[in-house]
Chain A
């Protein structure tokens, strides 16, 4: 019998702390498979965000650093500029990237830094207990929008790919989702392209991954996946934005 599936070399042999049904583990694995496939594990420097993925360095089997909340693109810029030979990617949640770190992502993108950003949009702050994120849906109930997000007081869901798509410094911006096997395959393709772009020296690439947070969406893993497919995608259309 031959082995048809095994853990990527880029993935450490440990189980994760993520809640049942959480999307982070899937995105982690996609990244690790891609790094294996591209043969870049020994050149890669990953940057873990402040958020649920904060201890990604315990799961990823390559060099990884933390970054202060929201500052992943600045740290990535510092690394990549002094070491263009390394493959530098940042992993960020929606609070990290689209709230506290909005300036950093916009300006790293606008400078056209030759880095790769994987942006996990789960419409909520996971790590701190399910508060409203900039990407929280209108009417969505969270710890800090108990009556549902109301645009009058909380503004609108922030569309990162659309926002970045107008910047000439951005080489590639695509939004994908991981709510079904087909979509996971598409997500993998997009993430791979974002890494390949860096290898080819093309410039700034970002993949926004719509992902489920069953715990703070308040649904079962199965229903939370449906919620992404039926509710989130309406607000956040999939596709290539640049």
Chain B
């Protein structure tokens, strides 16, 4: 049975995590994601889970590391400055092949920036963020219903590939309210018995170790090649993207998350005026929908990338299509949000 609820994005995400079997949450307050830990502090005890308000974001990600290596589905959330602090921990998750879900409700930067919505952590999220040869899966929901879907998926992917997964949202998605359908029967729980690698005491088996330190000659290179194999598999299987009017458009707008919602409205308006405009909405930002864009590049005349940043995802769009078609950009930064009219004007400029 599904129930319809009205909650803000941050709360929806928290509830979806619990539905996905998340039983450990640690986080440190930061706007605009504060509803998420507040919700967890109430809900986790109800489902027999653990909520900790940690002393820092660094501590929170390392608590997630601990809970995860014991076999529990674990999550932390923060916003941009706090996510910067978590990067070492995320790198350790990747290096130790531990699952973990990290939520970034992006705000304006650099520095303390502001608390307005932003998409300027795209580079950090998709290009490593922390040190070393690793990737994390990055999923970018565009609606509250999709937050439910992608949050649940995040935990499954994190476990399946034993990798950190980031849910990349922004202040608008976190704060807005929309009716959402929640299935109240699913309540999955992490099945730690299925995880053959966890540390739970060596009863009846050889002791296990979890570590990313590989000192022996060549051992780290061998391990990193193994990681790359995993990333290749993820790239093959886990690309997610929505395409609107992919077959008969001259210009394709490319946008994710909040800006994709605004772009969609702009595209529909232009369509109603007979303009041949479409939309590509990457849902997985890493892996990036390279093939999809390459295929579309054969048909369209140009692209318009719209972001709440000074231009970050645009680099992946250009790389994907090998710069074969012009790629235009419209971005607002530091808390600026592109409007429908601004996007329409940009498109008309290109036409």
Contacts and interface: CB of A to CB of B under 8 A. Distances in A.
Contacts of A74: 54, 58-60, 62-63, 65-66
B86 to A, nearest CB: 11
Contacts of A45: 70, 199-201
Nearest to B211: A66
A43 B201 contact: yes
B70 A66 contact: no
Nearest to A42: B203
A104 B201 contact: no
A79 interface: yes
B63 A63 contact: no
Interface string B187-231: 000000000000111111001111111010000000000000000
Nearest to A65: B210
B89 interface: yes
B202 A63 contact: yes
A60 interface: yes
A78 B203 contact: no
A20 interface: no
Contacts of A82: 23-24, 50, 66-67, 70-72, 74
Contacts of B71: 82
A141 interface: no
A74 B63 CA distance: 5
Interface string B52-87: 101110111011111111111010000000000000
B92 A68 contact: yes
Contacts of A41: 202
A178 interface: no
A144 B24 CA distance: 41
Contacts of B63: 74-75, 77-78, 81
Interface in A54-112: 54-55, 57-58, 60-68, 71, 74-83, 86-87, 103-104, 106-107
B89 A68 contact: yes
Interface in A28-48: 41-45, 48
A82 to B, nearest CB: 4
A107 B65 CA distance: 17
Given A63-B208, A64-B209, A66-B210, A104 B55 contact: yes
User: Which of A41, A55, A60, A75 has the most B CB atoms < 10 Å from its CB?
Assistant: A75
B181 interface: no
B266 interface: no
B200 A83 contact: yes
B52 A77 contact: yes
Given A44-B201, A77-B63, A82-B67, A66 B55 contact: no
B24 A78 contact: yes
* Highest count of chain B CB atoms <10 Å: which of A60, A66, A80: A66
Chain A interface mostly helix, strand, loop or mixed? Answer: helix
Which range holds the interface residue count of chain A? 35 or more
Nearest to B59: A74
Contacts of A57: 209, 211
Contact of B65 (A62, A78, A81, A86): A78
Contact of A78 (B62, B210, B212, B213): B62
B317 interface: no
A76 to B, nearest CB: 6
A79 B202 contact: no
B70 A103 contact: no
B52 A66 contact: no
B59 A103 contact: yes
B224 to A, nearest CB: 17
B201 A54 contact: no
Nearest to A77: B63
A41 B66 CA distance: 19
Contacts of A42: 201-204
Contacts of B69: 65, 75, 78-79
Nearest to B50: A81
B66 A76 contact: yes
Contacts of B72: 82-83
A103 B207 CA distance: 30
A83 B207 contact: no
B209 A65 contact: yes
B200 A86 contact: yes
A152 B212 CA distance: 39
Contacts of B88: 68
Nearest to B206: A61
Contacts of B52: 77, 81
Contact of A68 (B23, B62, B200, B202): B62
B57 to A, nearest CB: 11
A104 B67 contact: no
Interface of A: 41-45, 48, 54-55, 57-58, 60-68, 71, 74-83, 86-87, 103-104, 106-107
5 contacts: A63-B201, A74-B58, A74-B62, A74-B65, A81-B24
Interface of B: 23-24, 26, 50, 52, 54-56, 58-60, 62-72, 74, 88-89, 92, 96, 199-204, 207-213, 215
Given A45-B70, A71-B59, A75-B69, 8 more contacts: A61-B202, A62-B207, A67-B62, A71-B62, A75-B62, A81-B63, A86-B200, A104-B62
